[in-house]
Structure 1
Amino acid sequence: MIYKTVLKKLQLYLKSAFVRNYNVPRRALMYVPGDDSKKIKKSFTLDVDCIALDCEDGVAVNKKKEARETIRSYLDLGKPQRNIEYDLGVRINALDTEYWEEDLESCLSAKYLPDTILIPKVENSDIVRQLSSKIKNLIKTDSTINVIIYIESAKAFLNLVDICQVTESLSKNSKFQHVGLVFGSDDFCANIGATRTESSLEILYARQKLVLVAKAFNLQAIDMVYIKYKDLDGLKQQCEDGMRMGYTGKQVIHPGQVPIVQEAFLPTQLQIEWATGLLKSFHKHQKDGKGAFTYKGTMIDMPTMKQAENIVKLAKLKK
């Protein structure tokens, strides 16, 4: 009986994860100013994993209203179809500003919801509770939305585990699912008074801590922006450093960065072989009516299955 129960839970989990768009790769998270219709249209033609229509840093104060209305007009038309699966998100303004509620109300009352809401400058779990309450009131259907949280200050890092624990708990009975963490390195450096260097050693601890906590909560970890957008060699090096740390993707500020970033965050051959073997083993045990099982000496649980599915999905994107 226990095996059948585990198997049923696993099947439901995988099905719901797919429906929620939870497993969509976010190798490149590309920001597009919400007030620039021309750039928004172009972004829909690019082979990029995640498009973040921006109401925050990419938009001037006197253009906030225009950005909100422009994004809403595109959401009302529906998500443009492409040959590849991708994530369409909206980055709202921080919850300590006067703009965030209108940002959220505008995009969540559109005819079609975005896949993801990106929340900058989250410093404590009270912000998450406030956000959760607002989302619950705005989404009137059975739909759920993904949430990605930005960690951008010393206080945020001190509270990071609590933020993720509360968000995970709220996700169970709310209208959203927490799917990722983003390292906001520039704001973090400004907050602690660090001097930026090409090596990024001054933020090594924070960069590694974000990955550690993200993986503890089965979240995607999205690395910092490489601001020298014309330096593609430097971008590639920073991507490879982030990938070796465990990051699953990177923030992008220019379309020219997308191909290098997405290539860098593809899985290795060894990872592909592990994931393919695991899924084959799962299907064999499923056919035999067995739920819990081990693979290469490890007891397999739901997050591990999700990780394997992610790797296989990414492997299909290899040229």
Structure 2
Amino acid sequence: MKADATAQPWLPPGPAMLFCPADRPDRYGKAAERSDVVIIDLEDAVAPADKPAAREALVAHPLDPASTIVRLNPFDSGEFEADLEALAKTQYRCVMLAKAESAEQVEQVPVGVLALVETPLGVVRADEIAAASNCVGLMWGAEDLVAAMGGDASRFAAMTSATGSPMMGQYRDAPRYARARVAMAAAAFGRFAVDAVHLDIADHDGLRAEADDAVALGFMATACIHPGQVPVIRDAYAPTPEEVSRAERIVSAARNEAGVFQLDGRMVDAPVISLAHSVLRRARATGTTTIGVDHD
């Protein structure tokens, strides 16, 4: 069954997306309580022998489709068709397709797809994948990408934060390129972008730095692997009260102005107005208090 291109696109209700193994239904509810989006994982988190039981659990223990994504196994993994059969027995409207490498693969899924770009071929085809009729978003992954390139380290050596705590090193050039390409392709085709997981669970400083950078580049969410990372991500994506106030005033003023205008002594044009709308979307997604202006 191919995708319905007329289906309503799925959007994440908040910025913190938490992976949960599909074969651990006892964790489903806890993950939903502690995150904005649960990613029920049928792929890497589940051993091959446990995948049939994981699919059964997926069907038997439903979560809210508005805040749940199902990660499918790759298209050519031998598990993909069985995943789709299980998906058809649920109400979920968005999946993550692991190791997505073409628009044709994405369009074999009958619901919205957050395409996980984590192979060299997927990276060079990021724009084609983003253009797929049912692609709703793009995410990227560093570890599988570097392994597929024959490498063994996605990052440089560890660093020390300003507080003296250890931090994961910065990404090497190839992963940084993949991240930028995915973000650019998502923006070009009007899809949302999701930043990769930060594997060092205890490294909150490094996670915060990466989440701050993700916000600056227009990512809508960051994936994570532990509930303790959720507050860090939420804090990074939440605009300050001052940012919210200025964004609201820009949006309000823009309704009565044509073209470029000044506000508080600063020029306001189309990019500034667009940024203001982005700030207000993040405010709603993170529960930041607003003044009550209609932001849409």
TM-score range, shorter chain: 0.7 to 0.9
Alignment RMSD, CA only? 3.1
Specify the alignment match of 1:43 in structure 2. Answer: 31
Indicate if the aligned counterparts of 1:152 and 1:183 stay in contact, CA closer than 8 A.
yes
Shift of 1:275: 4.1
The whole-number CA distance in structure 1 between the counterparts of 2:177 and 2:289 is 32
Trace 1:97-136 onto structure 2 (pairs within 5 A): 97-110=77-90, 113-131=91-109, 135=110
SS for the counterpart of 2:107 is helix
Give the Cα separation in 2 of the matches to 1:69 and 1:117.
17
Residue of structure 1 aligned with 2:184, choices 188, 192, 212? 212
1:183 to 121, 124, 140: 140
AA aligned to 2:55 is: R
SS at match of 2:55: helix
Correspondence list, 1:148-187, <5 A = 148-165=114-131, 167=132, 170-171=133-134, 178-187=135-144
Name the CA distance, whole Å, in 2 between partners of 1:159 and 1:125.
Answer: 9
Are residues 1:60 and 2:47 paired? yes
CA distance in structure 1 between the aligned counterparts of 2:247 and 2:8, rounded to whole angstroms: 21
Question: Is this contact kept in 2: 1:30–1:50, CA < 8 A?
Answer: yes
Q: Deviations over 1:69-103 (max 9, x none)?
A: 1010122xx629xxxxx611111111111211221
Please tell me whether the aligned partners of residues 31 and 252 of structure 1 are also in contact (alpha carbons under 8 angstroms).
yes
- 1:267-303 per-residue CA deviation (whole Å, 9 max, x = no partner) reads 3556534542454357x57xxxxxx9647332999x8
Task: State the AA in 2 paired with 1:91.
Answer: R
Distance, in Å, in 2 between the alignment partners of 1:305 and 1:238 is 22
Distance 2:149 2:14 in 1: 28
Distance 1:153 1:42, change over 3 A: same
SS of aligned partner of 1:210: helix
> Are positions 1:88 and 2:75 aligned together?
no
Deviation at 1:121, TM superposition (A): 0.7
Secondary structure at 1:267 match in 2: coil
Query: Structure 2 vs 1, CA of residues 44 and 161 (structure 1 numbering), >3 Å: closer, same or farther?
Result: closer
CA, structure 1 residues 39+307, in 2 after alignment: closer, same or farther (shift >3 Å)? Answer: same
Go from structure 1 to structure 2 and tell me whether the alpha carbon gap of 1:318 and 1:54 turns closer, same or farther (over 3 Å shift). farther
**What is the distance in 2 between the residues matched to 1:104 and 1:260?**
33
* Contact 1:122 1:156 (C-alpha < 8 Å) held by counterparts: yes
Return 5+ residue gaps in structure 1 as ranges: 1-18, 81-85, 136-144, 172-177, 286-291
Aligned length: 263
CA deviation profile, 1:217-264 (whole Å, cap 9, x unmatched): 222211111111122222222222333333222111111111111111
Asked if residue 196 in structure 1 is aligned to residue 168 in structure 2, the reply is: no
Q: How does 1:127-146 map to 2 (within 5 A)?
A: 127-131=105-109, 135=110, 145-146=111-112
The letter of the residue matching 1:179 is V
The amino acid across from 2:120 in the alignment is A
For 1:117, the aligned partner's letter is: V
Question: Which amino acid in 1 is paired with 2:64?
Answer: K
> 1:310: Cα distance to partner?
1.9
Amino acid at match of 1:161: D
Q: How many Å separate the matches in 1 of 2:98 and 2:219? A: 19
TM-score normalised by the chain length of structure 1: 0.72
Query: For each residue in 1:30-55, what CA deviation from the matched residue of structure 2 results, as whole angstroms up to 9, or x when unmatched?
Result: 11001112211311322x11101110
- Return the structure number with greater helix share: 1
Measure the CA separation in 1 of the matches of 2:140 and 2:271. 31
Identity value in percent:
24
State the structure with bigger RCO (CA 8 A, min sep 6), 1 or 2.
1
User: Whole-Å Cα distance in 1 between the matches of residues 8 and 247 of structure 2?
Assistant: 21
| TM value normalised by structure 2 | 0.77
| Residues 213-252 of structure 1 mapped to structure 2, 5 A cutoff | 213-252=185-224
| Contiguous gaps of at least 5 residues in structure 2 | 1-6, 156-168, 261-267, 291-296
Tell me how far 1:63 sits from its aligned partner. Answer: 0.6
Inter-partner Cα distance in structure 1 for 2:247 and 2:136: 20
Counterpart amino acid of residue 103 in structure 2: S
Write the deviation string for residues 168-207 of structure 1: whole angstroms up to 9, x where unpaired.
Answer: xx24xxxxxx321111111111112332321113322221
